[in-house]
Amino acid sequence: MDNQDKIKTALKVCHLYYEDGLSQGEIASKLAISRPTISRLLQFARDQGLLRIEIMDPLKDLDVLAQQLEAKYQLKKVILIFDATNDLDAINPKIGAAAADYLETIVKDNDSIGISWGETLENVANHLHPSNANNVSVVQLKGSVSGSEMNNFANDIINKFSNAFHTDAVNLPLPVIFENATTKQVVMQDHFIKAIIQAGIDANIALFTSGTVRDDAMLFNLGYLTDPEIKQLQAQAVGDVVSRFITATGELADSDIDERTVGIPLAALRDKEYSILVSGSSWKVASIRAALLGGYANVLITDSQTAAALLD
Amino acid sequence: MDNQDKIKTALKVCHLYYEDGLSQGEIASKLAISRPTISRLLQFARDQGLLRIEIMDPLKDLDVLAQQLEAKYQLKKVILIFDATNDLDAINPKIGAAAADYLETIVKDNDSIGISWGETLENVANHLHPSNANNVSVVQLKGSVSGSEMNNFANDIINKFSNAFHTDAVNLPLPVIFENATTKQVVMQDHFIKAIIQAGIDANIALFTSGTVRDDAMLFNLGYLTDPEIKQLQAQAVGDVVSRFITATGELADSDIDERTVGIPLAALRDKEYSILVSGSSWKVASIRAALLGGYANVLITDSQTAAALLD
DNA sequence: AGTCTATTTGAAAATATGTTCATGTTTGCC
DNA sequence: GGCAAACATGAACATATTTTCAAATAGACT
């Protein structure tokens, strides 16, 4: 066997071994070569530099990425978790845990925490630990949902925050989007409701996520929006923040729908001591970027791949 | 151990295992962790995508590289050998073997092969097999050397070619560079010498290498050139072809020295059926490029890294 | 062609790695 | 704080890989 043939065989063995995950024995019988020879071919490949094993250092990389993001979007703090899968089910628990950890480090006595709800916030709630801070209040930043399942979902988050901060969280007992602006206006006259919204505006910490405008976006599947409205939003908006849809540059996308939406106004997020955007996965890059450009967050918690995408 | 710590430890283990080549057992005692845990950490690192194993396909790459070189320098044929070491002692035998193989495929009855000498040619000679072609002649393209060692060196190459092609190679029994042009002119009057040079010019196959202008270049260490001459050549030339020094663009670098040099003129290489440049390693990139730009070769035999450099 | 040496090969032994399982530890939950 | 479930750990075992070594093969030289 001449050198070229040897390289060729060694490469085939490398592919079977490192990519297809066959054992050397399996490769041996498949190629009708003895086991030791397979071992030697792999050694040969390594010696010849035929395969390159690169060890990444995501932790070091994360630091750099975080700093670059802080600079680019003028953020107070960026927290990144490492993820190579880009799988929501893997990312969400991790950024949830990171957000819960971060929250624990910043919450002090008498703080007021405004929260939204959704899958991401659920993951944050799941990782909360009992807080040492006293007299902390928790308030919902946006309306809830009428469907019973979903309502339980939002309530579950509220309850977990309540427990963690030893308080009774203030629930905003309204649908997140009304059918028309007038209805909302009327409801908003209610002093009790007004007070809740004001509490959300006054909260010094806000914790929220950003949503997409994909067909499977949660806000599109609650029945509050008609198909034409959804189509129009998909054309104009890149996602939502506290259920308010924004364009790629962070502007409000549709004031009509916005006026039917129950919750704190977007602008209120700009003035908070901590306005924490917790959102990850490649699907959400556009909405995160928009939220950051709009200045709605001063803290970002996301995953490494999304972070890299946000720098482009 | 939380996730970040786990990643950190896993990375350390990866470095020790894949880069430093320690066994899992060694790592275990070094870090005071049990062996199975090391195994699990490595598995974890692979699962998390913390290390990337890339299998190169130098053979496929070589094809592409070769084609690009053929196009860029308008060559009849480019033959590349794979080498990741960039070590002359590794490269030379391989390109020598490749050159010998190629020569065997092209030599036909009544061909005339002109050869130079040097380390590279020695390697070609070492890999020659007895040829099937009849009536092949072999002639030296340039003068030899007077020092006995070196003379043997050149003779050895001649002899191996003679044996492989079942002929008595025509030796050019002169120093490759004379002390002054006049001496050379006088010697060149000799009909016998003239005939040998003419045979070199008429050879339809030429096999030669390119040299550098580094201090350790063979032509600088034979005593034919003074130190000032060497300095000047190093300033103007990038290397030599059949002992004639050329600039980066393939022009003659110094006509005075050229007129003292014994061998076929550079231009003679341009008209050959096969003008085969056998030369590799990063040190020789400049001289190879110059030789190709000068049009002195229509076949190039080199290594992969040099090939890549020639494309820049 | 024949002999010598260097290289390659696979069986078997030695080593290294992966997995199982019982145990100890942490974590979530009331 | 205590209980249960999930998880991490290392000893022992099972498997996979590498090395050794003797035999076979190919190559070099006469």
Task: Please say if the pLDDT value at position B21 is more than 80.
Answer: yes
Query: What's the 3-state SS for A18-32?
Result: HHCCCCHHHHHHHHC
> Kind and range of the H or E element at A80?
strand A77-81
What is the reported pLDDT for A150?
Answer: 60
Low-confidence stretches of chain A (pLDDT < 70) are: 1-3, 146-152
CA–CA separation, A209 and A121 (whole Å): 7
Give the number of other Cβ atoms within 10 Å of residue B82's Cβ.
21
Contact A7 B53 (CB under 8 A): no
What is the reported pLDDT for B150?
Answer: 60
CA–CA separation, B80 and B91 (whole Å): 11
What is the reported pLDDT for A223?
Answer: 82
Contact list in A for residue B3 (CB cut-off 8 A) is 81, 94, 97
What is the reported pLDDT for B212?
Answer: 95
Contact B55 A82 (CB under 8 A): no
Nucleic strand C near CB of residue B46 (< 7 Å): no
What is the reported pLDDT for A60?
Answer: 79
A14, closest residue in chain B (CA to CA): B55
| Tokens describing residue B47 | 């699962």
Nucleic strand D near CB of residue A151 (< 7 Å): no
Could you give the count of Cα atoms lying within 13 Å of B57 in the half-sphere of its Cβ?
Answer: 7
CB B262 within 8 A of CB B143: yes
Mean pLDDT of B71-77: 95
Which string of b and e fits A219-248 if b means at least 16 CB within 10 Å? Answer: bbebebbeeebbebbbebbbbbbbbbbbbb
- Output the distance from A119 CA to D9 C1' rounded to whole Å: 34
Ramachandran area for residue B57 (φ above 0: left; ψ -120 to 50: alpha; else beta): beta
Strand order in the sheet with A239-241: A210-211, A239-241, A244-246
**Band of the pLDDT at B241, cuts 50, 70, 90?**
very high
CA–CA separation, B261 and B243 (whole Å): 7
| Tokens describing residue B245 | 């020094």
What is the reported pLDDT for A146?
Answer: 64
Nucleic strand C near CB of residue B45 (< 7 Å): no
Could you give the count of Cα atoms lying within 13 Å of B120 in the half-sphere of its Cβ?
Answer: 27
**Band of the pLDDT at B267, cuts 50, 70, 90?**
very high
CA–CA separation, A123 and A292 (whole Å): 22
Alpha-carbon gap: A35 to the closest alpha carbon of chain B (Å): 21
Nucleic strand C near CB of residue A36 (< 7 Å): yes
**Whose CA is closest to B234, among B217, B251, B210, B255?**
B217
**Whose CA is closest to B119, among B233, B219, B227?**
B219
Task: Please say if the pLDDT value at position B68 is more than 90.
Answer: yes
Which string of b and e fits A98-111 if b means at least 16 CB within 10 Å? Answer: bbbbbbbebbeeeb
CB B35 within 8 A of CB B10: no
- Output the distance from B121 CA to C2 C1' rounded to whole Å: 30
Contact A57 B11 (CB under 8 A): yes
The answer to whether A1 contacts chain B (CB < 8 Å) is no
Contact B18 A50 (CB under 8 A): no
What is the reported pLDDT for B153?
Answer: 73
What is the reported pLDDT for A260?
Answer: 92
Least confident of A129-133, A184-188, B22-26, B281-285: A129-133
CB A113 within 8 A of CB A199: no
What is the reported pLDDT for B90?
Answer: 80
Q: What is the pLDDT of residues B134-170, one digit of tens each?
A: 899 999 999 887 665 666 677 888 888 988 888 888 8
> Kind and range of the H or E element at B138?
strand B137-140
Residue B283 φ/ψ, nearest 5 degrees: -65, -25
Q: What is the pLDDT of residues B110-126, one digit of tens each?
A: 999 999 988 889 889 98
What is the reported pLDDT for B151?
Answer: 60
Which residue spans within A231-293 are E strands per DSSP?
A: 239-241, 244-246, 274-278
The answer to whether B76 contacts chain A (CB < 8 Å) is no
CA–CA separation, B34 and B27 (whole Å): 9
What is the reported pLDDT for A5?
Answer: 77
Give the number of other Cβ atoms within 10 Å of residue B214's Cβ.
11
**Band of the pLDDT at B2, cuts 50, 70, 90?**
low
